[in-house]
Chains A and B, each alone.
Chain A
């Protein structure tokens, strides 16, 4: 049985039973949310956003060490988050060496909060069930 049909299930008594995942299904999910899910579902991107949620700023080198990813991989993920305006990127020089720093924007923080609420709702719903 598919998840969709399960959510529409009505017991024989006529009284409609509240489905196990109703908390998740009831959560408002506009196009922005769906876009965020797709963007953040990837593990490295979720890690970058989580790390930046507790640190005001992290450099490219710090993020690279934190998630043990290649330069190319990290810049590709960071660029996607930057394009979505979830991160801001600042390039500067320190002791004549280039320094790239990232910060989480308010939009990014709100999006991460929504994603966390959603994941927690899934856990609550399945445990209640």
Chain B
């Protein structure tokens, strides 16, 4: 048997292994569950309501930062919950990729929040948050469904729009994004996932 034949068998076998691996990865592709979006949306709406109460309005940044932490924890738990331990272990790569895509824009958002609040430029924070969260979702959509990318685009458009709004109504832009968009897309993703299973 010639060397070229051996190389051919080797590359064919390697391609077969790659195909098996990619089929397994595709089957365990990371699925964001709609319930996570709905829960985060409810928290976003609650934060909006608290932020417009006259006595609490001055603490809007603290309210939203607390809401962000609660939403991240609840959203994260709801995303992971449906997977059994075995499936979670097997789908480790997609989950890791999802987190890697999501993390950098969120980290930039945290750093900019600290910088902007130190320099008393609070009026640009709502637009910045919406824009960067949109970027994070678009990046993360590479590892999950296209709907997440559409949701990211919507957040980015709303973020740009928020920069043009008067300071007094920017909280409503935050509410429309982290409350409304989360609820709408959470419901949409739930419906899509139900249709896929039938």
Contact = CB atoms under 8 A, between A and B. Distances in A.
Nearest to B8: A126
Interface in B72-89: 84, 87
Interface in A68-122: 94-95, 97, 99, 116, 119-120, 122
A129 B9 CA distance: 12
A127 interface: yes
A8 to B, nearest CB: 12
A61 B193 CA distance: 11
29 contacts: A1-B1, A1-B2, A3-B1, A20-B1, A20-B6, A21-B9, A43-B19, A46-B19, A46-B20, A47-B23, A51-B24, A52-B27, A54-B27, A55-B27, A56-B84, A58-B27, A59-B196, A61-B198, A65-B196, A66-B27, A116-B20, A119-B13, A119-B16, A119-B20, A120-B17, A123-B10, A123-B13, A126-B13, A127-B10
A23 interface: no
A99 B19 contact: no
Given A21-B6, A55-B87, 14 more contacts: A1-B2, A3-B5, A20-B1, A47-B19, A50-B19, A50-B24, A50-B27, A56-B87, A59-B197, A59-B198, A61-B197, A66-B23, A119-B17, A129-B6
- Interface size range of chain B in the complex: 20 to 34
Interface of B: 1-2, 5-7, 9-10, 13-14, 16-17, 19-21, 23-24, 26-28, 84, 87, 90-91, 196-198
A89 to B, nearest CB: 16
Contacts of B10: 122-123, 126-127
Q: Give the residue among A53, A56, A123, A129 with the most B Cβ atoms within 10 A.
A: A123
Interface of A: 1-3, 6, 20-21, 43, 46-47, 50-56, 58-59, 61-62, 65-67, 94-95, 97, 99, 116, 119-120, 122-123, 126-127, 129
B8 to A, nearest CB: 9
